[in-house]
Amino acid sequence: MLLVVCARVVDHRVAGPLKQQRGGGGAEPIGGWTRFALAYAGAGTASLWLGVHIDPQRALWVAVTTLVVMQSDARLSYVRIVHRIAGTVVGVIAAFALTSVLQSPWLVAAAALVLAPVIPHHLQHRYWLHTALIAVVILLAYHLATSDPRILRGLLTERLEDVLLGAGLALIGTLLAFPRSHPDDD
């Protein structure tokens, strides 16, 4: 508890106060809520189906990525897709670097405990960093759970594959939910 409090105080001093998260709902999506809901449900279902057929243990990563990045605003969806991919790449590289340098399980655990409390701060304004920190903490936890470095290297690759697949399906869903109008339509 003391570690979390200290980490939040340091994060507050470095990055400022934790902002209240925006609620969903905003303006009606272009094309209407029904079109968005059908595209969202279709993309979510496709991501879960594909994830289960690739590897049931990885299905959650694919589906969560799709459902988290696809928003009721096309621009925000595109930004989140790019940030999710970039953040995951940064997080995987950071996790690989940390697990290569930190040989002691105590140091790996300490790194995870220091990083975990700062994750919520970056959700709204630095989604890529939020995603990177989540990837690092989860991969550090996997590193602690296994003593075989080959398993962790495989997880690093799988995490990237799952995010790319989920983001790709979210991109398809976003394109279906928000088709571009042609200049002739005006």
Burial 68-86 (b: 16+ CB within 10 A, else e): ebbbbbbeebbebbebbbe
Closest CA to 178 of 30, 27, 28, 25: 30
State pLDDT tens for residues 43-97: 999 999 999 999 888 899 899 999 999 998 889 999 999 999 999 999 999 998 9
Q: Which residue stretches of the chain are H helix? A: 2-15, 32-54, 59-69, 74-101, 105-115, 127-145, 149-177
Interatomic CA distance for residues 162 and 138, integer angstroms: 14
- Locate tokens 């589906």: which residue? 63
**1 — pLDDT class (breaks 50, 70, 90):** low
Enclosing H/E stretch for 70: none
- What one-character DSSP code corresponds to residue 183? G
**154 — pLDDT class (breaks 50, 70, 90):** confident
